[in-house]
Amino acid sequence: MDTEYPQDADGEALRRVAAGGADLSQPMIIDFAVAVADEATARRVAEIVAAHDFDPSISQDDGRDSWSVYCSKSMLATYEGVVAVRAQLNALLGANGGVCDGWATFGNNQG
């Protein structure tokens, strides 16, 4: 398994996923977080990403006035893949006030 990734946030996250025992040769659900200013924007963003094969969920950020839309997608956890999805989300959502500010996964090694 190749765990040589760039020295950036996405590379570090992939190293943690691999170290956690996930099989990076198999798909897993990855949740891409999109930060938005308010609930109306969150709902609009959720509609847009749902039309592009993401499974969205909306939540208000704890103790803040901001909101997040988690855009879930089953995919291989590759550096190129996560960077491409983040770029896709930013391109889709920039005009609607959404910014993809990270991603997370529970991996695929749950028993």
pLDDT tens figures, 24-68:
999 999 999 999 999 999 999 999 999 999 999 999 988 778 899
Which alpha helices (DSSP H) does the chain contain, by range? 9-19, 39-50, 79-93
Instruction: Tell me the C-alpha to C-alpha distance, in Å, between residue 19 and each of 1, 45, 69.
Output: 11, 33, 27
Q: What global pTM score does this model have?
A: 0.90
Average pLDDT over residues 84-100: 93
The residue type found at 45 is V
Ordered by where they begin, the domains of the chain are 24-105 (3.30.70.970)
Average pLDDT over residues 96-108: 92
Distance CA 89, CA 100 (A): 6
Strand partners, 73: 30
Q: To the nearest whole number, what is the mean pLDDT of the chain? A: 92
Average pLDDT over residues 81-97: 94
List of residues 6+ apart from 19 with CB closer than 8 A: 3
pLDDT higher than threshold 50 for residue 1: no
